[in-house]
Amino acid sequence: MTVVGTTPPPRLPVRDKAAGRHRAGGEVSPMLTRLAAERATGVLERERGTLYLTEGRVAHAESPLAPGLDVLLLTHGTLDAGAWREAVEQADEEHGAARLLLGAGRIGQGALEVCHLGALYDAAYFALAPSSTPGRFRYGTGHPFGALRPVAVDALERETLRRRALLHRLWPDPLPDTAPLLRAEPVAAPGLTARQRAVLARVDGVRTASDIARALGRHAFATLVDVRRLAAAGLLTAQFPPPVPQPPPGLTLPRVNDPDITLLKRLRDALEAL
């Protein structure tokens, strides 16, 4: 009997678990990486902020958790409020607010670029935080401020990861980043810097770290650094969120391991990875 040789079928691909954790953990945005490769121009809307892209580079960023560029420029008198308002009102797609401010000599280019980059990295830190919803991108929409000095996506992601690691080393509990802050009485109060004293003076049980950053006209991330150091020193604590109300009798909530919930999570991860 003649035995006919057959070629064994190719091995099935094995999913890279590390890469899967990288995507699911939200350390970076796969969508943002793809848009950078495409050299896309438009707006990427995420759960905690918005990134404005120009030819695949991030030209501007905004987040409700970070003070805007206007706050940073106006609080300490770097720019006159009337000049800012006039530039914003007159800005269009051809002449952004940045070009109008520079053209009118309202502010030096170096000062404006430093303030803008600081605000961009600040807001992007929050915008690139792990998200429970997929991002949404709209092509062809710019920001009225204009593209002053766009930042490469890989550089932005590296800085975001560096900031996450720094905060974790200072104090591993992220609750003080977003919750109302309360003063605590330490056993032995350590010496504080002027910046830390200014932050602690505004802790009142109502303000969050972002609120304090706006009140001081400072970057939100720098304020988070001070807040976590103060938490590590035992000088402040975060107010825990109120307990989740119990469902009324007879109402059954879906289980965490419910197949429908699992499917929705998979769909979310797939959309984020597109």
Q: Alpha helices, DSSP H only, in 171-273?
A: 194-201, 209-216, 220-232, 259-273
**Would you state the structure tokens that stand for residue 112, as one six-digit string?**
């404006």
Q: Which of 176, 178, 216, 171 is nearest to 196 (CA)?
A: 216
Helix (H) / strand (E) element for 85: namely helix 81-90
Q: Give the C-alpha separation, 88 to 257, whole Å.
A: 49
Q: What are the angstrom distances between the C-alpha of 24 and each of 28, 30, 111, 263?
A: 9, 10, 38, 14
What type of residue sits at position 243? P
Q: Name the phi and psi angles at 100, rounded to 5.
A: -65, -40
Question: Residue 274: its pLDDT value, please?
Answer: 58
Let me know how many helices (H) and strands (E) the chain has, helices first. Answer: 11, 6
Question: Residue 267's pLDDT is what?
Answer: 63
Residue 217 structure tokens: 């006209």
The Cα 33–Cα 56 span in angstroms is 9
Q: Which domains does the chain have, with CATH numbers?
A: 30-165 (no CATH), 175-238 (1.10.10)
Q: Which of 207, 204, 140 has the alpha carbon at shortest distance from 177?
A: 207
Q: Minimal CA–CA distance to 98: which of 81, 76, 83, 77?
A: 83
* Collapsed DSSP state (helix, strand, coil) of residue 60: strand
- Left (φ > 0), alpha (ψ -120 to 50) or beta: where does 25 sit? alpha
74 residue type, one letter: L
Distance CA 130, CA 172 (A): 16
Q: Which residues, 6 or more positions from 206, have their beta carbon under 8 angstroms from its beta carbon?
A: 180
| The CA-based dihedral angle spanning residues 111, 115, 118, 122, taken in that order and rounded to the nearest 10 degrees | 180
Read off the amino acid at residue 144: P
* Residue 142 confidence (pLDDT): 81
Please report the pLDDT score of residue 224 as a whole number: 98
Gap between the Cα atoms of 96 and 125, Å rounded? 24
Q: What is the pTM of this model?
A: 0.77
Q: Find out whether 109 and 16 touch, Cβ atoms under 8 Å.
A: no
pLDDT digit string (tens) for the chain, length 274 residues: 444 444 454 443 343 444 443 443 445 799 999 999 999 999 999 999 999 999 999 999 999 999 999 999 999 888 989 999 999 899 887 788 888 999 999 999 999 999 999 999 999 999 999 988 889 999 997 888 888 889 999 999 999 999 999 999 999 999 999 999 999 987 767 789 999 999 999 999 999 999 999 999 999 999 999 999 999 999 999 987 766 666 666 655 555 555 556 666 666 666 665 5
Name the residue with tokens 């991330």: 221
Instruction: Please tell me the predicted confidence (pLDDT) of residue 135.
Output: 92
